[in-house]
Amino acid sequence: MFQSVIKVSCALVMTLVSAHALAAGDSEAGQAKAATCVACHGVDGNSAVPTFPKLAGLGHKYLLKQMQDIRDGRRPVALMAGQVDNMSDQDLADIAAFYNAQSRTGGMADPEKVALGRKVYLAGIAERQVPACSGCHSPTGNGNGPAGYPALGGQHAEYISAQLKMFRKGYEDPSGRTNGGEAKIMRTTAFRMSDMEIEAVASYIAGLQPNP
């Protein structure tokens, strides 16, 4: 009886250790597995083209979920077609670990959009019940890794704007972005924002400087 309990306990420990290893990923292994990602996302995850997101330092949990969603069809991305289809969860965890370990470069905000962008990001839009972005993504744009909220500071404004508009479309149309979680926080938030507000907050976020 006692030996059976020990065996069960050991099996449980091994299962938990394996699950932790999968969740953590191996950055060194991920660098090799990310070889085909370089063309769009850059050697260190800092893409040079504003339509491709910077992946550096976004948060391991977020990066892993997005790649899994793309692979499994929950987030259709035409430019990613076939890129992760044959990858296991461990492969994706390793790639996420590699990119999360990189330092994200900063960007520039449009001075004419800063005032409105700062207001939306830090205070939201009370009259339309739009929450402040800082509540989830932090006032400095460094996100909340354990919760899976990505670090946004320094991200390309063009990319952020495009994603917010896709979330807005996804509120009513399944061809938009719908993989933001069952609570639909991003879809509901974006649905209540105008183009001008989206572009302003995207520009403000681009100007936030990531932590080194």
pLDDT tens digits for range 92-123: 999 999 999 999 999 999 999 999 999 999 99
* Greatest CA separation for the chain: 73
pLDDT at 11 over 70: no
Give 169-206 pLDDT, tens digit per residue: 999 999 999 998 778 999 999 999 999 999 999 999 99
Contact present, 204 and 109 (Cβ < 8 Å): yes
pLDDT at 180: 82
Specify the CATH number of the domain 2-100.
Answer: 1.10.760.10
Contact present, 157 and 205 (Cβ < 8 Å): yes
d(CA 82, CA 35): 14
pLDDT at 183: 80
The domains spanning 2-100 and 111-207 adopt the same CATH topology: yes
d(CA 119, CA 113): 10
Single-letter residue type at 3: Q
d(CA 146, CA 129): 26
pTM of the model: 0.87
Q: What mean pLDDT do residues 161-166 have?
A: 98
pLDDT at 182: 73
Q: Where are the domains of the chain?
A: 2-100, 111-207
To the nearest whole percent, how much of the chain has pLDDT over 90? 85
To the nearest whole percent, how much of the chain has pLDDT over 70? 89
CATH class of the domain at 111-207? mainly alpha
Q: How many Cα atoms occupy the beta-carbon half-sphere of 161 within 13 Å?
A: 19
pLDDT at 211 over 90: no
